[in-house]
Every structure is written in C-alpha cells, then in structure tokens.
C-alpha cells in the first residue's frame, strides 16, 4: 500500500511542455491535511504547471505526486460555468450531475457562501468577471472537495471580494478540505498556512509559512520576495540551491532533511467522485493537530515547515456533510442532455446557427436550381446531379455547423465536469441527444421546402430521403464534435470545418463520378459520408429509371458515366453512414478523454492516488 503522511506529497517532480521547455525542476514539498497553501512567483515561473501536476491534470514528466484520496475540485483560470444559463440553474445542473440529494439546498448554501444570492437569476455570461470567478468556485464547492485546487481564484476580484473568497476557502479547510491555489496577490498569500515560492525557470525557491518566507528572503513583506527573486546577484536557481540545502535525496526522491513528526498517517477515504475509494473526511477529522498549527509559527524553512501532514485531530471545524453519490452514466446523460437543451434554447447565438444553417442551404438552392429538373418528360440530368449533391452536402453542412461549436466553446466547463467524474462518452452522447432532434427538424424542413417548390421529383420516397439526410447530418455532426474536441478556439474549429468540407465536395462522386476517379481517389471516396449519401439519395429519387426512360438524350450517357452509382440498396448506404456516425462520436469521445485526462484515480483497496510521471519522458 502507498503510505501518505500528508494530503499531498510532491516528490522530486519535473515538468516539460510538449515542445520540451522545462517548466518545473526537481520540486518536492508536502501539503498537510486541512492546510491552505498558496503557490506564488513571477509570471511564467510555473505556478499553474505545479498546480496542474499536483491536481493530476497534467502529470509530471519526472518524479511523482502522492495524494490522499478524496473528491477533487479544480477551478482553472477562465470560465467553467455554462454562460447561457442563469447562475442558480447552472449550479443546480452541476449539483445534479454530482448526484447530490438536495441540489436546491446545496446551491443556496454555496451562493450564500460566495455572496452570489442576489445574482442567482442572472445569466452567467452577464455576470462580471469577478462574479463569474466566484461562480466557478461555487460550482466546485458544491462537490465538497477534500482536495481543492484553484488557479488564481482571486484574480480580477476587488479586495473585499478577494478577502471573502479567501475566507470561504479557509472555512473549507476548517471543515476538512485541503486547498492549494496560485495567486499573484501577496495579501492573499499572507492569509495562507504555507506558501510555495517559485523562481523563474520552475525552481522551488521556498516552501513554508509566510512568516518564515519573509525571514528567509530578508523581506518585510511578501511583495519584496518578488524583488529578491528578480534581484541583482540573486538569480532564480541560487534561491533554489539555497533552499535545496534543506532537502536530502533518498533513492532518487527528495525528502525534507529534518525527519517527519512521529505519529501514524491518517488517510482520508472518500466516495464522492470517480477518483476516490471511500468517503470524504469523516466528521471531526478535518483539522490540523497542534503540530500542524505549530507550522504556522514564525520559523525558518526547515523540516518543520515542509514536514509531512499529521493525523487529523478534529480540533478545527464542523463535520463535513455526507458524501454525494456517484452518478451512473445514464443519470449523468439525462442531466447533461437537459442542460444542453436548456442552454441551447437560451443562447441567441446558438439559435442563430441552428436556424441559419438550413436557411442558408435553402436560399442558395432556391436561387440556383430551377424547378422541374426531375420531370419525366424533360429531365435535366446535369441539374439532377447538382441538386442531389447539394441536398446531401446541405445535410452535411448543417450537421457540421451544429457540431463544430459544441466542445471548444465549453472546454473550461468540460474540464471541471471531468474532474467531477463525468465520462467523456456520456458527454458526447448527451450532445448527440440534443443535436439529433434539431438536425431532424432542419433536414425535414429542407426536404419539405425542396419538394414543395418542385426541386425534387414528384412522388419520390421522401421518407427514405429524410433518413439519408439525417444520417449524413448525424455523421457530419459527429465529425464536427471531433474537430471541436481537438481545437481550443471557435475560429480554429471553423478552419477545421472548412478543411473537412473540401474533400466531401471533391470525392462525393458527384462532380466527378467515382468510376472516373484514379484508383487512390476512389479509395478516398469510400471515406466520404457524402459519397454514400449521394448514392442513397439518388436511389430514393429513382434517378436511374429517370435517366434511362426519361425524355433527355443526356440520360443514358450520364447513366453510363455514373456506372454503379445509385445502384446499391439504400440500407447498405445507411449502414455505412451510421457506421461513420458511431466512429466519429467514438473518436470525439476519445479525443475529449485524452485531452481532459485526470490522473487521480486510486486503485481499489489503496488509500492514496499516485500521479506518476508521464511515460516516455
């Protein structure tokens, strides 16, 4: 069993970015139970990198982080609450997603705690920056995390609000949570039990109490520490070397050179999240002991200040409430689908996309194509091909347009929910649950208008045409979700969307029949949903019979050049299109899972979650 004597032990971790830049170097520290710890340092010194490594959001490239089990809360920099929803409503969805028994009461409590009750009915997107920040904290507090990580929680808050947030966090520590935050505000850092000071380059320059830090750096205030770190003759690594004298390395692991306090470690089991193995801090066990409190005294940065956490003594704070239940994926899916629908109906910009995409397809078609192109007496085979292709491409375009903005616009929300135990597959299926009905309406509208205005053959199999259009739209929506899952901004998603549209046009077998393509092009065409949809739609419209027996001299030569196109059974094309949809949804889910992967799950029977170094680094 992994033994932990602290809530979080950071053991000689290093971190590199994907491009190889070193952001953290050989950092070791131990955060005690129920401590409030701030990570401070200059811009780019690696505060967020350290927070992410400790939380499991981005495992270190060397060393290891060992944490007690517990529900984990993480508030990243940026918005994490759906913007379109009124605040209380958004929080209620968050509470239901976590399976809380009484969401209303829990939401009322956190709104009061963060002084947001007056803003309960305001849409999150209309809150001020500081209010949105507090809303993000409130959403995480709902989960009653045992370990709570926050990236600059007081950034953008006025001093009074910042103080309130720090009080709320202290209050949570008193009730058994361990809180680690980054901050650029010396007063906020001063309110913490301990501070980790990072010097540029990712060096740990100090870890201990704020009072000890002032003594260590010879500074009257924490502000001056920044000057010392940047000061002449004191380069960053010199502070790190000086501080590292207080450590020794045992078996490749840095440990405080002063032996830890005696006493058995007490681990905190929990059941509140997927990363956990038991229940959150039991009532009355969430406080530091006298030894822990002693660490707050003015003292140099020795083992006393960096020493391991001590067992809970129950001296501070009331008991935590009972743990929330783990939601099953089906319940999560239900809550998310309801929230997605709610958000969709309340966001004018999303509604504009929903209505605008089919409207654009319809307007372009009606301006371009004459009616009667499918008349048996005077068919126009060239116009037939163009209309069929455009209808199919219209379905694809609408599906892609619906899917593209879905994930990249709510990465912050998604990350938070993944921390709270949401499965990536559940998330994607909840998106599909809302997009598919919307697509069905849009596709039915397009077909109905085309049919009513004579752009499609009379008496054609509209039911089959609708299924084809819906399937190609669904495949495109899946592709849109996949593109959206791998980019970070809407603008990039749009570029990605254009890139995936391009081959759909060329390889659909409409502009150039599949039989006329070179061999590689033919293989590529198999990968295009539009190719299969074009085939199925032509079959439903009985194009072969029209061209063979209609009154156009072009009909038979066209039939010859399009070869076996429109000759396959429709269900065959439908199966392929359904397959594309499943593959794209699965790929989107995998991309989301890998992108928001959180290493924090303990193996059954273990009391500690280990965040090992990423393999291959």
Ligand X SMILES: Nc1ncnc2c1ncn2[C@@H]1O[C@H](COP(=O)(O)OP(=O)(O)OP(=O)(O)O)[C@@H](O)[C@H]1O
d(C-alpha 577, C-alpha 440), whole Å: 15
Distances (CA, A) of 303 to 144, 357, 458: 30, 63, 85
Q: From residue 13 to residue 52, what is the string marking binding to ligand X with x (rule CB under 6 A)?
A: ----x-x-x-x-----------------x-xxxxxxx---
d(C-alpha 174, C-alpha 191), whole Å: 14
- Tokens representing 361 are 């397809």
Smallest gap from residue 342 Cβ to ligand X (A): 33
Q: Edge to edge, what strands does the sheet with 178-182 contain?
A: 72-75, 147-151, 178-182, 36-41, 194-199, 203-208, 22-31, 8-16, 62-68, 608-612
In the bound state with ligand X, the residue whose beta carbon lies nearer, of 23 and 178, is: 23
Strand-pairing partners, residue 72, are: 147
In the bound state with ligand X, the residue whose beta carbon lies nearer, of 90 and 229, is: 229
Residue 276 binds which entry of Mg ion, ligand X, none, CB below 5-8 Å type-dependent:
none
Q: Torsion angle of alpha carbons 210, 212, 218, 224, nearest 10°?
A: -10
- Tokens representing 362 are 């319809």
DSSP 248: E
Smallest gap from residue 329 Cβ to Mg ion (A): 33
For ligand X (CB under 6 A), the number of binding residues is 14
- Tokens representing 372 are 């009667």
Q: From residue 150 to residue 189, what is the string marking binding to ligand X with x (rule CB under 6 A)?
A: --------------------------------x-x-----
The binding site for Mg ion (CB under 5 A) comprises 47-48
Residue 19 binds which entry of ligand X, Mg ion, none, CB below 5-8 Å type-dependent:
ligand X
In the bound state with ligand X, the residue whose beta carbon lies nearer, of 228 and 606, is: 228
Residue 555 CB contacts under 8 Å (≥ 6 apart), including other chains: 379, 381, 546, 547, 548, 549
DSSP result, 545-577 = HHHHHSS-TTHHHHHHHTTTTT-S-HHHHHHHH
Contact 240, 24 (CB under 8 A): no
In the bound state with ligand X, the residue whose beta carbon lies nearer, of 17 and 371, is: 17
Distances (CA, A) of 319 to 71, 172, 285, 471, 508: 16, 11, 8, 53, 64
Say what angle helices 129-141 and 159-174 make with each other, to 10 degrees.
10
Which residues in 564-603 contact ligand X (CB under 6 A)?
none
In the bound state with ligand X, the residue whose beta carbon lies nearer, of 49 and 469, is: 49
Residue 17 binds which entry of ligand X, Mg ion, none, CB below 5-8 Å type-dependent:
ligand X
In the bound state with ligand X, the residue whose beta carbon lies nearer, of 5 and 47, is: 47
Smallest gap from residue 12 Cβ to ligand X (A): 18
In the bound state with Mg ion, the residue whose beta carbon lies nearer, of 5 and 47, is: 47
Residue 179 binds which entry of Mg ion, ligand X, none, CB below 5-8 Å type-dependent:
none
Smallest gap from residue 462 Cβ to ligand X (A): 50
In the bound state with ligand X, the residue whose beta carbon lies nearer, of 21 and 582, is: 21
Residues in the chain: 617
Residue 45 binds which entry of ligand X, Mg ion, none, CB below 5-8 Å type-dependent:
ligand X
Contact 209, 298 (CB under 8 A): yes
Q: From residue 370 to residue 409, what is the string marking binding to ligand X with x (rule CB under 6 A)?
A: ----------------------------------------
Distances (CA, A) of 116 to 131, 173, 465, 615: 8, 21, 51, 43
Smallest gap from residue 40 Cβ to Mg ion (A): 11
Residue 257 binds which entry of Mg ion, ligand X, none, CB below 5-8 Å type-dependent:
none
Smallest gap from residue 185 Cβ to Mg ion (A): 13
Contact 243, 213 (CB under 8 A): no
Residue 565 binds which entry of ligand X, Mg ion, none, CB below 5-8 Å type-dependent:
none
Chain position whose Cβ is nearest to Mg ion: 48
Smallest gap from residue 223 Cβ to Mg ion (A): 18
Q: How far apart are the first and last CA of the chain?
A: 25
In the bound state with ligand X, the residue whose beta carbon lies nearer, of 192 and 577, is: 192
Smallest gap from residue 488 Cβ to Mg ion (A): 17
Does 548 participate in binding ligand X (rule CB under 6 A)? no
In the bound state with ligand X, the residue whose beta carbon lies nearer, of 45 and 589, is: 45
Residues that bind ligand X (CB under 6 A): 17, 19, 21, 23, 41, 43-49, 182, 184
């Amino acid at each position: 069993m992994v033994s932990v004597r602290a809530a979080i032990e950071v053991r000689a971790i290093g971190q590199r970015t994907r491009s190889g830049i070193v952001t953290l170097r050989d950092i070791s520290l131990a955060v005690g139970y129920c401590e409030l710890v701030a990570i401070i340092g200059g811009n780019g010194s690696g505060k967020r990198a350290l927070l992410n490594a400790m939380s499991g959001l981005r495992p270190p490239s060397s060393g290891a982080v060992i944490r007690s089990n517990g529900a984990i809360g993480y508030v990243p920099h940026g918005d994490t609450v759906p913007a379109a929803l009124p605040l209380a409503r958004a929080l209620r969805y968050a509470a239901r997603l976590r399976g809380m028994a009484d969401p209303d009461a829990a939401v009322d409590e956190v709104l009061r705690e963060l002084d947001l009750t007056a803003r309960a009915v305001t849409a999150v997107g209309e809150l001020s920056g500081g209010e949105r920040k507090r809303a993000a904290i409130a959403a995480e507090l709902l989960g009653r995390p045992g370990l709570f990580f926050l990236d600059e929680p007081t950034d953008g808050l006025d001093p009074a609000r910042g103080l309130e947030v720090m009080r709320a966090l202290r209050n949570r520590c008193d009730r058994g949570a361990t809180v680690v935050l980054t901050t650029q505000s010396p007063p906020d850092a001063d309110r913490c039990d301990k501070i980790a000071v990072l010097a540029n380059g990712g060096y740990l320059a100090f870890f201990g109490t704020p009072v000890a830090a002032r003594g260590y750096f010879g500074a009257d205030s924490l502000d001056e520490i920044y000057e010392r770190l940047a000061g002449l003759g004191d380069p960053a690594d010199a502070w790190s070397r000086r501080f590292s004298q207080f450590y020794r390395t045992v078996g490749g692991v840095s440990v405080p050179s002063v032996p830890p306090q005696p006493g058995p470690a007490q681990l905190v089991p929990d059941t509140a999240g997927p990363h956990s193995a038991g229940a959150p801090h039991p009532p009355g066990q969430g406080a530091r002991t006298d030894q822990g409190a002693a660490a707050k005294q003015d003292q140099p940065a020795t083992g006393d200040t960096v020493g391991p956490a001590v067992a809970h003594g129950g001296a501070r704070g009331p008991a935590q409430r009972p743990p929330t239940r783990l939601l099953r994926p089906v319940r999560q899916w239900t809550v998310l689908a309801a929230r997605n629908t709610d958000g969709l109906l309340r966001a004018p910009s999303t509604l504009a996309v929903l209505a605008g995409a089919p409207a654009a397809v319809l307007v372009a078609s009606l301006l371009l194509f004459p009616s009667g192109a499918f008349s048996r007496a005077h068919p126009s085979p060239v116009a037939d091909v163009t209309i069929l292709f455009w209808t199919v491409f219209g379905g694809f375009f609408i599906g892609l347009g619906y899917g593209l903005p879905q994930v990249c616009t709510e990465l912050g929300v998604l990350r938070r929910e993944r921390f709270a135990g949401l499965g990536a597959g559940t998330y994607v299926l909840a998106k599909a649950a809302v997009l598919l009905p919307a697509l069905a309406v849009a596709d039915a509208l397009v077909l109905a208008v085309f049919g009513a205005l004579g752009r499609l053959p009379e008496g054609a199999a509209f039911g089959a045409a609708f299924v084809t259009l819906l399937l190609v739209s669904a495949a495109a929506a899946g592709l849109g979700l996949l593109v959206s899952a791998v980019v970070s901004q809407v603008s990039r998603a749009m570029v990605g969307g254009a890139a995936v549209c391009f081959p759909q046009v060329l390889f659909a077998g409409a502009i150039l029949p599949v039989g006329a393509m070179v061999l590689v092009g033919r293989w590529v065409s198999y990968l295009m949903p539009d190719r299969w949809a074009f085939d199925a739609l032509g079959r439903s419209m009985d194009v072969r019979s029209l061209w063979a027996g209609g009154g156009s001299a072009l009909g038979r030569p066209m039939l010859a050049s399009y070869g076996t196109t429109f000759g396959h059974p429709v269900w065959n094309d439908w199966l392929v299109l359904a397959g594309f949809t499943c593959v794209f949804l699965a790929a989107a889910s995998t991309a989301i899972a890998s992108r928001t992967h959180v290493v924090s799950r303990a193996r059954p029977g273990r009391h500690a979650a280990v965040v090992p170094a990423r393999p291959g680094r």
